[in-house]
């Protein structure tokens, strides 16, 4: 079947009720208390980010490296499997979002999950929900491919948020020339690509983001 549209979904706060990265990292840290001393620098890193307005991707990398940097792929993959398989059981996904996703699938649209969260677990969520393609923030591993690889944690792609999401949308236009794009997001960092989509929709946005969406002409909805 030839796709009629590209349907582009943000993850955190759009498909899910809440952020997915912090619970993922907290769950791993709870299972590996030997890592806890490495977390002592995180408040200083967070303060430095707030004071100097550092790149958000750099802070994300530092968080990930503190919690699991140097750990083996097999151990991390095992936790990622446990974490993602539990998302449905914990009711992490918004029923209305899943219904919209199912409607796009039934219409034969090409489904793309686009998230700033890392490739440690986002592609697994994409497979769980039946997406055709996943685009997310990519991390570096050290060593040859295989279970013995160790996580470096440095970002090897751009942090997939803000203007980078808009660039991802334009690359999808090149990949699927002529197809209109329907895009869904929940935050002000999603507005750059929602504005560029033929059918952009801000869902579950806070008051400030809804105000910015109205000013930009982006329709507003609420998924529960």
Domain housing 102: 6-221
Q: What pLDDT does residue 17 have?
A: 97
pLDDT classification of 12: cutoffs 50, 70, 90:
very high
CA distance 4 to 74: 39
Q: What pLDDT does residue 43 have?
A: 65
- Give the total residue count for the chain: 224
1 lies in some domain: no
The predicted-structure confidence for 17-31, as pLDDT tens digits, reads as follows 999 999 999 999 999
The answer to whether residue 53 scores a pLDDT higher than 60 is: no
pTM to 2 decimal places: 0.92
Q: What pLDDT does residue 144 have?
A: 83
Q: What pLDDT does residue 148 have?
A: 81
CATH number at residue 176: 3.40.50.1000
129 lies in some domain: yes
70 lies in some domain: yes
Q: What pLDDT does residue 51 have?
A: 47
pLDDT classification of 44: cutoffs 50, 70, 90:
low
81 lies in some domain: yes
18 lies in some domain: yes
* Number of domains composing the chain: 1
55 lies in some domain: yes
The predicted-structure confidence for 125-156, as pLDDT tens digits, reads as follows 999 999 999 999 999 999 888 878 999 999 99
CA distance 32 to 102: 37
144 lies in some domain: yes
Closest CA to 12 of 146, 161, 144: 161
Bigger pLDDT: 92 or 59?
Answer: 92
What mean pLDDT is predicted for residues 119-128?
98
Token pair 């004071």 in the structure block, residue: 51
The answer to whether residue 52 scores a pLDDT higher than 90 is: no
13 lies in some domain: yes
Q: What pLDDT does residue 122 have?
A: 98
pLDDT, mean over the chain: 92
Closest CA to 155 of 136, 145, 167, 140: 140
């Amino acid at each position: 079947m030839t796709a009629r549209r590209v349907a582009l979904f943000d993850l955190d706060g759009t498909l899910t009720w809440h952020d997915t990265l912090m619970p993922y990292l907290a769950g791993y840290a709870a299972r590996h208390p030997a890592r806890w001393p490495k977390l002592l620098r995180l408040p200083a890193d967070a303060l430095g980010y707030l004071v100097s307005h550092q790149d958000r991707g750099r802070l994300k990398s530092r968080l990930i490296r503190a919690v699991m940097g140097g750990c083996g792929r097999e151990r991390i993959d095992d936790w990622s499997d446990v974490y993602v398989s539990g998302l449905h059981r914990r009711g992490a996904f918004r029923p209305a979002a899943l219904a919209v996703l199912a409607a796009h699938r039934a219409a034969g649209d090409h489904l793309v999950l686009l998230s700033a969260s890392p490739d440690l677990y986002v592609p697994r969520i994409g497979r769980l929900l039946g997406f055709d393609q996943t685009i997310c923030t990519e991390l570096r591993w050290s060593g040859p491919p295989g279970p013995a690889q160790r996580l470096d944690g440095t970002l090897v792609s751009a942090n997939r948020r803000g203007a980078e999401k808009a660039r991802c949308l334009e690359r999808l236009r090149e990949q699927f020339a002529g197809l209109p794009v329907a895009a869904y997001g929940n935050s002000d960092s999603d507005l750059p690509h929602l504005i560029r989509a033929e059918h952009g929709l801000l869902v579950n946005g806070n008051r400030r983001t809804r105000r910015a969406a109205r000013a930009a002409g982006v329709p507003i909805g609420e998924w529960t």
